[in-house]
Amino acid sequence: MSELSEVANETSEPEKKSAGPDLPLLWPQSMSKEDHKWVAEVLFRVNAKGKMELKDNLQLWYNPPPPNLLYHQAPTPDKFFSHRLLVWMPYRLWRVSLKCTNSECVGHQLTSGGLHRRVRQVLDIDSYYNLVTETLICTKCRSSYLSWGDAVLQQLDLAHRSEFRVILTQKHAIDIRAIRFLRERTMGNGPVRLVGQLKENHSEQWLQRVNRYTAECMGFRTNNLGLQQISFQRPPDPVEMPSYKWLLTVYSKDILHRLDDIKLPAVQLPPQLPTVQVPTPPQLSTVQLPPQLPTVQVPPQLPAVQVPTPPQLSTVQLPPQLLSLPAVKGPPSLLLPTTTQGPSSLMPPIAIQRPSLLPTTIQRPSLLPSTTQARSKEALAC
């Protein structure tokens, strides 16, 4: 910064804003003086009548000439602080057909009406650049249109429309690349932060150009110590940055411009797809089946089979002597069941009584004589 102050102190003549005679209309007043000379050289030529006119084969973008590598005269800030130029003239550049939008003469062809009177300064990420355009006139209703207006931009296709990346307001203009930083709405990402980031980028770019310019001035002064009076022009001041409120206005305008693209799908399909004729396969021959198969007559009911029942067994008559015998009393294990049960379906149960083999009562012989012993002796004697 000491070199910058030294160069500024050696400035002998004050700055005077003089309009360049080579630029038409109000271009010198609306464009920085560092761009007057090189813009006049690349865009205009002198015709046979001695008047300025646009050259043929215009380009969309023009870059300023870079600074010289070696200076044999005192360097000037023109080549160090010049800006790019955007020539937005779709009627001249691409020969597109633009029509009048007035209700009285809809569809009438627009023609070129000359250059616009002013040059707009567009705010970019780290610097400014110049924007110039032309005026289009309808010869039927005498209506005039600017090439950067919506009436003209909407008639361009998407490829040519995307080349114009500027959002214009009444006072300022900004490049769409700077507005894209506001589309990511995260915490802390707002217009205040964007203004601070743009100021930092512009300041670094301006200091880099000032450093390059002062270095060339000091190098020229060192190489020409024999010259008594050497004066250098003061570098231009940085351009003032717009406020964050204006950025919010521009961001809202950007959303309105993209509203139709957001609503529409990404791929536009034709209104009706062509129908494809698919060949139908040949019909197969039908198999003729008999109208009705013969039915088999099943008898309604099979005859019932008569199963003979077994004859009932007669009861066995036992002699009365066996029936009159008294029952034998003995242990339960020796006693046999009095009845035998068989299958109920074959024959009824028959009661069988077995004669008792053991006497009903067993009496021990008594040692003493009794009447019973006497009777037994009588019986044996008989």
- Map out the domains of the chain as residue ranges: 2-263
Strands 173-175 and 120-123: parallel
pLDDT confidence of 112, banded at 50, 70, 90?
Answer: very high
- Most confident by average pLDDT, 79-93, 188-202, 302-316, 358-372: 79-93
Highest mean pLDDT among 15-29, 183-197, 359-373 belongs to: 183-197
Q: Which of 148-162, 213-227, 329-343 has the lowest mean pLDDT?
A: 329-343
pLDDT over 80 (residue 30): yes
- Distance from C-alpha of 164 to C-alpha of 175, rounded to nearest angstrom: 9
Residue 62 is predicted with a pLDDT of: 97
Structure tokens at 336: 């046999």
Q: What is the mean pLDDT of residues 82-100?
A: 94
In this prediction the pTM is 0.63
Question: Cβ atoms within 10 A of the Cβ of 76, count?
Answer: 17
Residue 122, pLDDT score: 96
Mean pLDDT of 80-94: 95
Q: Are 134 and 209 in contact (CB under 8 A)?
A: no
At residue 183, the pLDDT reads 84
Residue 118: other Cβ atoms inside 10 A: 14
Local confidence band at 1 (pLDDT 50, 70, 90 cut-offs): very low
Q: Spell out the SS3 assignment of the chain.
A: CHHHHHHHHCCCCCCCCCCCCCCCCCHHHHCCHHHHHHHHHHHEEECCCCCEEECCCCCCEECCCCCCCCCCCCCCCCCCCCCCEEEECHHHHCCCCCECCCCCCCCCEEEEEEECCCCEEEECCCCEEEEEEEEEEECCCCCEEECCCHHHHCCCCHHHHCCCCEEECCCCEEEHHHHHHHCCCCCCCCHHHHHHHHHHHHHHHHHHHHHHHHHHHHHHHHHCCCCCCCCCCCCCCCCCCCCHHHHHHHHHHHHHHCHHHHHCCCCCCCCCCCCCCCCCCCCCCCCCCCCCCCCCCCCCCCCCCCCCCCCCCCCCCCCHHHHCCCCCCCCCCCCCCCEECCCCCCCCCEECCCCCCCCCCCCCCCCCCCHHHHHHHHHHHC
* 275 vs 364, residue with greater confidence: 275
pLDDT higher than 90, residue 372:
no
Taking only the tens place, the pLDDT of each residue in 248-266 is: 999 998 888 888 777 765 5
Both structure tokens of 124 = 């970019």
- Residue 38's pLDDT is 95
Question: Between the CA of residue 298 and those of 254, 292, 294, 302, what are the distances in Å?
Answer: 92, 18, 13, 10
